[in-house]
Amino acid sequence: MRPLGELEAQIMNRLWTWGRPAPARDIHADLNRTRPIAYSTVKTVAEILFRKGMLQREKQGRAWQYEPTCSRQQYTASLMQDALGDNPDPAGALLSFVEQMSASEVEALRSALRAAKRRGEA
């Protein structure tokens, strides 16, 4: 994945873990513990996330406080909605390994598989 995308994920992950609004300086300080990174880079990526609608911000004193607009679970749910075909999705944007099936059909598939295995062993 792109380095910038990685930093986006790290910033989002920290804010989700903290569960409170935080200024870019706090995020930078925490990121800096694991690897050297420029404050301006963190600030820029936080602004990118804000423009993408993933972070909201509020001014407190002189600094912006950032906070995720949605929880991690909400993002995952939205992602899975794309993948499971609940969203109308243009042809071929995502190609799923198997599509949805009825319970009886899954059972039929399983017994077919078992029968084939027995044949293979016999």
Partner 1 sequence: MTSTLFLAGYAAFVGVFAPRVLARARWTHRAPRLAVLAWYALMATFLVTVTLAAYHLVLREQHVHDGLVGLLSACGLFPVGSASHAAADPATLLPPALVVLLPAGWFLDRVWRTRRAQRRHVALLAVVGNPSADHDAVIVDHDTPVVYCLPGRYRQVVVTRAAIKVLSQEQLGAVLAHERAHIAGRHHLCHAMVDAFGRSFPGLPLARQAKGQVALLLEMAADDRALRLHSRENLAAAMCEVAAGRAPRAAFGAGGSSAAVRLHRLLVPAATPGRAARLGVVGGSLAALLVPLLIACGPFFG
Selected binder of partner 1 within 35, 62, 100, 118 (CB under 8 A): 100
Contact characters 49-78, partner 1, x per CB under 8 A: ---x-x-----------------x--xx-x
CA geometry: angle 21, 24, 27, nearest 5 deg: 80
Selected binder of partner 1 within 98, 118, 121, 122 (CB under 8 A): 98
Selected binder of partner 1 within 90, 118, 121, 122 (CB under 8 A): 90
Backbone angles phi, psi at 55, to 5 degrees: -120, 150
Tokens standing for residue 91: 């042809």
Q: Least distance in Å: CB of 62 to partner 1?
A: 28
Contact characters 18-47, partner 1, x per CB under 8 A: ------------------------------
Residue with tokens 């009825």: 102
Q: Extract the runs of DSSP E, i.e. beta strands, from 16-92.
A: 22-23, 55-60, 63-68
Collapse the DSSP code of 9 into the 3-class scheme (helix H, G, I; strand E, B; otherwise coil) and give the result. helix
